[in-house]
Structure 1
Amino acid sequence: MDLEQQVYMKGGHGEESYANNSLVQGNVIFSTKLIREEAITSLYTNTLPSSLAIADMGCSSGPNTLSVVTEIIKVVEKLCKKLIHSSPEYKVYLNDLAGNDFNSVFKSLDNFKENLSDEIKTEIGNCYFFGVPGSFYGRVFPDRSLHFVHSSYSLHWLSKVPEGVNDNKGAIYIQSTTPSNVIKAYYEQFQRDFSLFIKSRAEEIVEGGAMVLTFLGRKGDDPRSKDCCFISELFAKVLNDMVLEGTINEDQLNSYNNPNYYPSPHEVKLEVLNEGSFEIKQLEVSEVDVNALNNHSPYTFTQSMRAVFEPVFVSHFGEAIIEDAFNRYQEIVTDIMAKEIIKTTYFTLSLTRKS
């Protein structure tokens, strides 16, 4: 599977699009607002750049894409008034894999600029937008060209499915039955990917620059824990039922594994410290009540999962099974939501580039 071509959120503005099914992600962005404000305030007051370069990595499309940019510009403009300093020019780089619906984002820019000027009651400085397709696991930008990097709900996606996970029969990610060698393969792929991400950004961010990263993970050390594996186990149950009924064949299921890894706080800190270019300012661990954020609606929750996973499922299993698979998933989720609260864990990591 060529993940650079297949891993992307479902585009457009249809009923099953990511744009219309990213409420949880939007809530997480709102919940982590204070950490970003602290980071951008410290960065701007200490450097006062005449041109501020911002990168949103794994930007996706939809209402969340420009919300962080809005927030950053509003903070900077408020600081400029307080410091009696002229507004900087803004260079905003939107990065995601090539399959992302960049066109929808670009079509929204005129309204974005108009609405932002209305909100802050003044014309903002020159604001330039650039679409930058490509994997963030490696260099994306020139040396020392960025002041602030943001990424939300993206870094739990790996650059590829780890090698050596063929023993994970009947599962699509780590779960209670997953052998230790498969867990090791997933962790080692995360180490390679995340360390490369940190190293690449260290070369691209100016000294004193900042980075705020939010991504799914787990609270404890056990990679089989429910807070990171539960949702994928439900998908595995659906697919195993479809194998038993002959809708898909067993080889198709056994050859598929999600290209994700949900790390622990210790695993995240270890890679940052080993790379050495960034100071950890904050590492906050939080939970999302999935039931509440989806209005206790199994349909809404299923649609949000479909917007994320449909493209990668289609690339492996084909389009014919998708409707049936997600209908089955909704049935399981309906039963689960009636009995318990589904929770997921995420981290917010605030880093400053060392001198």
Structure 2
Amino acid sequence: METVETLHMNKGAGETSYAMNSFIQRKIITLTKEATEKAIMEILCSRREPIMKMGIADLGCSSGPNALRVMSEIVEAIYAASNMLDRPAPKELMLYMNDLFTNDFNNVFASLPSFHKRISRKNGDDSRNNGYFGSNCFVSAVPGTFYGRLFPTKSIHFVHSSSSIHWLSRVPSGLEDKNGKGLNKGNISISKKSPNCVLEAYSQQFKNDFSCLLESRSQEMVYGGRMVLSFLGRQSMDHTSSNCYYQWELLANALMTMVSEGLVEEEKVDSFNTPYYASCYEELKTEIEKEGSFMVYSHEAYEVDWDDGMYLQSDNDILGAMSKGERFSRTMRAGVESILKYHFGNHIMDELFQRYAILVEDHLSKTRAKFFNLIISLVKRH
């Protein structure tokens, strides 16, 4: 199963949409802001002459308020850095919003008027320009997988990606035996019960994908360009050393309760695996050095609570009345429902995520569950 065909965040602005249930992702974006600002400053500092036209790409922009929030912060960082350096800002900003073909780009671009107003007001520009401080911002959708070419050669100065690189281009091959039976029995992702062949298959798929991402960006980015990638990962080379996949184990448990009641076929669960991989810094560094086009400028990691950021909209009465388990269940549903529907059908979704919410609530009552988020800043060598 290739993600280009099946993976997208839930569309629209309904109660199970990504737009209404992406608070954890918003929190992660705030953690990336400092690395982004440093990268922008370094890009502008490294050039003797002012940049006249600057290409900026957000890989895996998705939809909802987070998408243009990122671009707004990048534009503001360019403005602030230009002021600090006492240099003219780029005359034109080419802002590329990338995600898979099935992404809800209509939702993104419906917010463009407010985006232009925000950056114009923030930077004291005449709103008639639809730009900022005398510049023009040209926003474009670039549908397609970031594990391949997306942009013209040497056209991009800065690449940003948040909460996206942990998605693989496809479910790894080699997860079935010669008779087509699933080898990751009772699981839907890597778990402590997964056989070594499953771990190796996921690891190899990640290496293939990440090297493709680096090779593609190396052709598209200018010398000295910067890339800031933020995504869910793990703390060590040992896949089972932490609970970096536990959100998937609980979802598998919810599915297996439905199997026990005859609501889902066990073979259906055994044949389903998520295109998700939590990498560690050592793996990333190895692939970066092997590809050779980029140098690691900095890297850092943060722990993020499963329910972190869910209270950012305190005026949302519906969210306020929900349990932690229900809120986290909605967050997961907004991100993974598309691939579950593709395999299991739409008819079990409500029941599945109700059961999942109960399991998550029980887990959170016993422990402070956390994600491990990696942020890595890269510089284009040549």
What does the per-residue CA deviation read over 1:154-192, in whole Å, with 9 as the maximum and x for residues that have no partner?
111111100111210110011111000110000000000
Structure 2 partner of 1:101: 104
Cα contact 2:24–2:307 (8 A) shared by 1: no
1:136 matched to 2:152: no
In 1: Cα distance, 2:15 partner to 2:257 partner: 26
**1:31 Cα deviation from its structure 2 partner:** 1.3
**1:111 Cα deviation from its structure 2 partner:** 1.0
Structure 2 partner of 1:46: 46
Query: What is the percent sequence identity of the aligned residues?
Result: 41
**1:292 Cα deviation from its structure 2 partner:** 4.1
Structure 2 partner of 1:85: 87
Q: Please give the TM-score of this superposition, normalised by the length of structure 1.
A: 0.97
Structure 1 partner of 2:318: none
In 2: Cα distance, 1:316 partner to 1:73 partner: 40
Structure 2 partner of 1:119: 122
Q: Cα RMSD over matched residues?
A: 1.2
In 2: Cα distance, 1:82 partner to 1:265 partner: 33
Aligned with residue 352 of structure 2, among 325, 332, 336:
325
**1:3 Cα deviation from its structure 2 partner:** 2.0
Cα contact 2:26–2:309 (8 A) shared by 1: no
**1:142 Cα deviation from its structure 2 partner:** 1.5
Cα contact 1:11–1:17 (8 A) shared by 2: yes
Structure 2 partner of 1:243: 259
**1:7 Cα deviation from its structure 2 partner:** 0.6
Cα contact 1:6–1:311 (8 A) shared by 2: yes
What does the per-residue CA deviation read over 1:117-174, in whole Å, with 9 as the maximum and x for residues that have no partner?
1112224111101101011111111111100001111111111100111210110011
In 2: Cα distance, 1:83 partner to 1:134 partner: 36
- Structure 1 unaligned runs (5+)? none
1:290 matched to 2:317: no
In 2: Cα distance, 1:292 partner to 1:200 partner: 34
In 2: Cα distance, 1:320 partner to 1:353 partner: 47
1:23 matched to 2:23: yes
1:233 matched to 2:249: yes
Cα contact 1:291–1:337 (8 A) shared by 2: no
In 1: Cα distance, 2:84 partner to 2:199 partner: 51
Deviates more, 1:49-58 or 1:114-123: 114-123
In 1: Cα distance, 2:69 partner to 2:121 partner: 15
Summarize the alignment of residues 143-162 of structure 1 with structure 2, pairs less than 5 Å apart. 143-162=153-172
In 1: Cα distance, 2:101 partner to 2:309 partner: 29
SS of the residue aligned with 1:344? strand
In 1: Cα distance, 2:308 partner to 2:343 partner: 32
SS of the residue aligned with 1:138? coil
What does the per-residue CA deviation read over 1:271-329, in whole Å, with 9 as the maximum and x for residues that have no partner?
11111111101111211011343357221111101100111100110000000000000
Cα contact 2:6–2:339 (8 A) shared by 1: yes
Structure 1 partner of 2:179: none
SS of the residue aligned with 1:129? strand
Structure 2 partner of 1:306: 333
Q: Please give the TM-score of this superposition, normalised by the length of structure 2.
A: 0.91
In 2: Cα distance, 1:77 partner to 1:316 partner: 46
**1:342 Cα deviation from its structure 2 partner:** 0.9
Cα contact 1:298–1:333 (8 A) shared by 2: yes
In 1: Cα distance, 2:293 partner to 2:235 partner: 25
SS of the residue aligned with 1:227? coil
Consecutive aligned runs of 4 or more in structure 1 exceeding 4 Å deviation: none
Structure 2 partner of 1:33: 33
SS of the residue aligned with 1:32? helix
SS of the residue aligned with 1:11? coil
In 2: Cα distance, 1:185 partner to 1:214 partner: 23
